[in-house]
Chain A
Amino acid sequence: MKSTKRKLGIRPCTWVYLFLITFTFVTSQVGQMGLSGLTVSLLVLMLALIKGQLVGYYFMGLGRVKGLWHWPVFIWLFIPGILIGTAFYLTAARV
């Protein structure tokens, strides 16, 4: 790995951290306000998937990995994400 001299300032991982915290507060606020319904749920789910991808990409370091191992967390988020989304969609469609 080539090491580059870092400029002073905020590290990329700190930015990611701040994003994660912000998203968490948004999600939590939705919960505290007792918002419900399909749109809200899917938005919350979407936020969670983005958070997961941020963790996988930057914290776990999969963003820098090429090939097969680039994908596990993305796929892991994608498939359950689709399943959960479908289940909530079908539930809403039923009521």
Chain B
Amino acid sequence: MTSLKLNLGPQHPSTHGVLRLILELEGELITRCEPDVGYLHRGMEKMAEKLSYIQYLPLVDRIDYLAGFFYSELLCRNIEKALSLELSPRVKAIRVMLLELNRISSHLLWIGAFLMDLGAVSPFFYAFREREVILKYFEKISGQRMMNNYFVFGGVRNDIFDIEEIERFLEILPHKLDDYESIITDNLIFKKRTVGKGVLDPKIALNFGITGPNLRASGVGYDTRKKDSLYEGFSFSPIVLGNQDSWTRYKIRILEIHESIRIITQAIEKIKANPELNNNFINPLNIVLPEGEYYSEIEAPRGVASCYIKSDGKKSPYRLKWRTGSYYAVNLLRKLLVGEYLNDAIAIAGSLDIILPEVDK
């Protein structure tokens, strides 16, 4: 059987960005899949070595433009740990609220994109209708919808206001989620396309460095929010589902949105509890970290994200490395797609929630 070499991407509607998969097909069966990345490589780590910390902060939202808050929080947390800047309780509550809102908007976009991969047209627009409310709120608070540059070392740029809009939104959201669930979750065709497809065994997942919702859908309850200092005092339980296929990866993200809603309601109470926002800002022009290495870690929507800074006492870091979730999910495709058919392959790749800016950094 002569094998057909097929280029999936880089300009392809269902790869959410510029991912190129070189597939070898026999008929429609994939025998080898080799991802080729680097089309969106902006040299984030090289830029860091040339810019001072305050100059690098706005660029950090671009690492994963759907979850910008997470990466500016990572950098701020690293610097605050190095310079031991204390955060006031209100700032912590604001940060948790905006992080979880960003997680909801990222999951909503994924639901729309995943359904569009499978061919259903309308859930995409319904998910974007909800996401628009969140982005409008980000714009009102921070000034930009996605590249918000709102967290600063030692606090947030300016205070949060109009929380009632978010409270109203949190009442509507569960009903809208039930709308999606009634269209999608038990739909016969959706179940045929996703149940039992792309089974990810926990051992393989751990071996491939998969973290976040994909890992929790395979039964391993690893959620860094439990050990995260920012999330102390928030009662939440990470969701772990067992049966490892695309359908559970879809279901776990719906449950995570419900979980985030609970966290946000607690955060809003904390914000209302302590009204005054006392940031302790530092002079931005000469932020110099004492020599040494600093790690910080956070539970981004697509997996554990972490930032490593090695500083040698100069204005810009000696070495800065990012760890992102989708980077290892793309590597997983090499094993997961082998033995699948072409239209199942697209559905499985979609279910892993791969975003290319994260992969290419």
Are chains A and B native binding partners rather than an unrelated pairing? no
Binding site for A on B (CB under 8 A): none
